[in-house]
Amino acid sequence: MAIDWKDALSALKDSGNIPVDNTPDSTPTTTDKDAPQASPLRVVIDRKGRKGKTATIIEGFSGSDEQLEQLAKTLKQRLGTGGSARGGEILIQGDRKNDVITLLKSLGYKTKN
């Protein structure tokens, strides 16, 4: 009769030769790709080059392009407005500076005016 690998593993755990949980002894470093960045994001209002239309710009994002696109998508959906993300910046249509700052803080980002 062959021993099932689950039974063998259970026997090792019960004997104390293998730890019950597989957590490492050292403290893990936080490398979560969804964690907010350490440096603050700068939120500014701009009208230049937009035919007089106001835009809220979030500068200083230091993540991947995928993370930038995801943050822009979240901001646009929650604010109910248009915008874009490119070159490390997020552009939100309209003067939504206070709303953007509040929303970024609720998402765990630090902001700078």
> How far apart, in whole angstroms, are the C-alpha atoms of residue 110 and residue 37?
8
Split at pLDDT 50, 70, 90, the class of 12 is confident
> How far apart, in whole angstroms, are the C-alpha atoms of residue 22 and residue 101?
40
> How far apart, in whole angstroms, are the C-alpha atoms of residue 57 and residue 11?
59
SS3 90: strand
SS3 57: strand
Residue 83 phi, psi (nearest 5): 170, -175
Q: Which two tokens stand for residue 48?
A: 């230049």
Torsion of CA 102, 30, 85, 107, to 10 degrees: -20
pLDDT tens-place string over residues 24-33: 554 444 444 4
pTM to 2 decimals? 0.65
Contact 91, 79 (CB under 8 A): no
pLDDT tens-place string over residues 77-98: 999 999 999 888 999 999 999 9
Share the mean pLDDT of the chain.
Answer: 81
Could you tell me the residue ranges of all domains in the chain? Answer: 37-113
CATH of 37-113, one of 2.115.10.20, 1.25.40.80, 3.40.50.10190, 3.30.780.10: 3.30.780.10
pLDDT at 30: 45
